[in-house]
Amino acid sequence: MSQTSVPSVLDSMSVWHRRGSLHFAGSFVVLVLATIVTGSVDRDSVVVLVAVPLLAAVSASVLVLTGWADRQWSLLMWPLIPCLSIGALDFVAPQAADLVMGLVVLSFLFIGVSQPPLWGLWFVAPAAVLYEQVLDLGVGDMVVRVPIAAVVWVVCSEVPARLVEELRRKNASLVELATTDSLTGLLNRSRLEVHLDVAGPAGAVALIDLDHFKRFNDSHGHVAGDVALMDFATVLASETRSHDLVFRYGGEEFLVVMANTSPEEAALVLGRVRESWRGHGSGLTFSAGVTFGGASAVHGADILLYAAKAAGRDRVVVDTARGEPAVV
């Protein structure tokens, strides 16, 4: 039984790649302007500037073709390419390269907001080498610059990375609170429609109700009733399949969405649930209605559930391809 299929509220990798491409585009414009302003436009500088977007295009294509574009580390290409370009530009237009060293700080910042903590650490050494090459620093300057580079790394990369990491944790907690039933730990109904749409008519939907639960609650107390609900939720979670989605639909009602499953196959799953539940000794039974997935699946399953109760409870009524419900 899956409970982690809720879409993330965090931005997708495609969104971050768009942001990275904007970071790269802005950096490229700065490189071009610096070359023009310093009067460094010649054949060699033009070759370097033309190679920059080509390198970005080739790198992006490789990531897409290999399927690596959805890996978080793939975002590192966007700050890395401008920094490599600065190093290359320094050989043909050193004055222009001197003007754009601030892009290194922006690269640290992009790494900070797009990568986990400490991932920016690998960038410190290349950045220090780049500063030494472009600014032609002596040993005395490096003694001063290295601590400054470390401070820049902490402020521009580590602080944002840790803030974003904390935000991710809080977002994950909020998503769990918003989509999970507090008593049973199952999914609640907040995103049920989305999952029904994803499952579509090729799936099955089972609506389950514990028989005579109100009577059980009245005679045993609400605490015992809550325990019974939690126990039944545990049985559902363990006996359904890993890709099935189990919801607490409300009160003593539960709902299971099964993708790529016929109602008959779903009934077999509920058979396992019934056998396991009988071993718990609560004395409670359940009735269920199982129908094909789709927009009206819950309504159809509800009708079949009431048919199961009308037939004497402790049974499952299943919709069939022939259109004639079957009792199992």
Catalytic-labelled residue, pool 165, 176, 239, 252 = 252
Distance of CA 134 to the CA centre of its chain: 40
Q: Which residues contact 79 (CB under 8 A, 6 or more apart)?
A: 20, 23, 106, 107, 108, 110, 111, 123
Q: 49-64 burial, b for 16+ CB within 10 Å, e for fewer?
A: beebeebbeebbeebe
Element (H, E) at 267: helix 263-278
pLDDT-based confidence at 202, cuts 50/70/90?
Answer: confident
**Whose CA is closest to 27, among 70, 84, 69, 71?**
84
Q: Which residues contact 196 (CB under 8 A, 6 or more apart)?
A: 205, 257, 293, 294, 295, 297, 298
pLDDT of residue 141: 62
The answer to whether residue 252 is catalytic is yes
Question: Is this structure's pTM higher than 0.75?
Answer: no
Write out pLDDT tens, residues 94-132.
999 999 988 888 888 899 888 888 888 888 878 877 877
| C-beta pairs of 302-305 under 8 Å, 24+ apart in sequence | 302/207, 304/207, 305/207, 305/208, 305/209
Domains of the chain by start residue, with CATH: 13-177 (no CATH), 189-327 (3.30.70.270)
The structure tokens 């779903």 sit at 266
Percentage of the chain surpassing pLDDT 90? 50
**Cα four-point dihedral sign 172, 207, 264, 276:** positive
Across the chain, which distance is largest between two alpha carbons, in Å? 91
- Give the integer Cα–Cα distance in Å for 83 and 75: 14
Q: Mean pLDDT over residues 299-328, rounded?
A: 85
Write out pLDDT tens, residues 40-66.
999 999 999 999 999 999 999 999 899
Please give the single-letter amino acid code of residue 225: G
- Give the integer Cα–Cα distance in Å for 185 and 237: 10
- Give the integer Cα–Cα distance in Å for 50 and 60: 16
CA end-to-end distance (rounded Å), the chain: 22
